[in-house]
Amino acid sequence: MLEVRNVSKVFEKDGKDFVALQSVNLTIKDGEFMCLVGPSGCGKTTMLKLIDGLVPKTNGTIVLDGKEVNGIPSEMSFVFQDINLLPWRSVQRNVEIGLEVRGVPKAERERRARQALAMVGMEADYRSAPYQLSGGMQQRVGVARAIAVEPKVLLMDEPFGHLDAFTREILQIEILKLWMQLKTTVIFVTHDVDEAILLSQRIALFQAKPGRLVEVVDVDLPQPRWEYDVRAHPRAIELHNYIAARLNAKEAD
C-alpha cells in the first residue's frame, strides 16, 4: 500500500552534509499498524516527515497505492508530539482545521468533527477551549483532528511522549481500539520498545549515524491486546529482549 524505495535525506549542518537517512527501503501493508523504533538521531521522525511530504527527499521515491507521492498528500494525516491546538478556537473548531483546508462545506465539517470527537471520547467537550483541557485530553483532540479527514495513512510522531505513565497507557489502548475500528494504516514513531510491542503488527528498527533501517520484526502476539497483560506475555518478553539487544548491538558498531 505504501512503499519507501531507496529514500535518503541529507541536511546541511555547519557547512557540512549530515546524512539523516540513508537508502531506506520499507513496505507498509494496507491497514497495518507499524512502529518505527530506534535511538535519538536515527531518523525516525525524519522518515515520517518524508512520507508526509513535510520535508523533501534527497533521493528515492515514496509510492502510495501505486502512485508516487509528491508534496503533501491529502490521503495522509499527521499527529505531532506537540499538538499545538489553536487557543482562540474551540475544540470542535480545532478538529475542523484539516477539513477547512480541504474545502469541506461547513455543515459536513461540523458533522465529521463531532463524529471524530465522539470516537476519542471528547464529544461532551466540543465547545471547550484548549486551555481548559488536560494534556491527555488535548492529545485526544489532536487524534480527532487527524482522523476527521478520514486518511488512508495516519502518521503519529511519539504522540504520548509528554504524558504521564497512567494517561499514556489509557491512550495506547484507545488508539489500538480506534485502529481496529477504522482499519486505517498507522505508522507510529516511538523510542519505547514496550509501547511498540503493545501497539504494532511489525516494528521497523532504525540505527543512527547515519540513520538507516536495519530490520523489520514481526510482532506475533494475539489481538485484542487490551484483554491481557502484554508486557508479561512470554513472547513479548522475548521480543523486547531481542529488539533491545539488536539496537544496542547496532549502536555499539
User: What's the chain look like in SS3?
Assistant: CEEEEEEEEEEEECCEEEEEEEEEEEEECCCCEEEEECCCCCCHHHHHHHHCCCCCCCEEEEEECCEECCCCCCCEEEECCCCCCCCCCCHHHHHCHHHHHCCCCHHHHHHHHHHHHHHCCCHHHCCCCHHHCCHHHHHHHHHHHHHCCCCCEEEEECCCCCCCHHHHHHHHHHHHHHHHHHCCEEEEEECCHHHHHHHCCEEEEEECCCCEEEEEEECCCCCCHHHCCHHHCHHHHHHHHHHHHHHHHHHHC
Reply yes or no on whether the pLDDT at 76 is more than 60: yes
Reply yes or no on whether the pLDDT at 72 is more than 90: no
Q: Which domains does the chain have, with CATH numbers?
A: 1-75+151-218 (3.40.50.300), 87-150 (no CATH)
Reply yes or no on whether the pLDDT at 93 is more than 80: yes
Tens of pLDDT, residue by residue over 201-217, are: 999 999 988 899 999 99
Please, which pLDDT band fits residue 104 given cuts at 50, 70 and 90? very high
Give the residue-averaged pLDDT of 237-245.
Answer: 95
Reply yes or no on whether the pLDDT at 251 is more than 80: no
Give the residue-averaged pLDDT of 183-206.
Answer: 95
**Average pLDDT of the chain to the nearest whole number:** 90
Note the pTM of the prediction, 2 decimals.
0.91
pLDDT score recorded for residue 249: 53
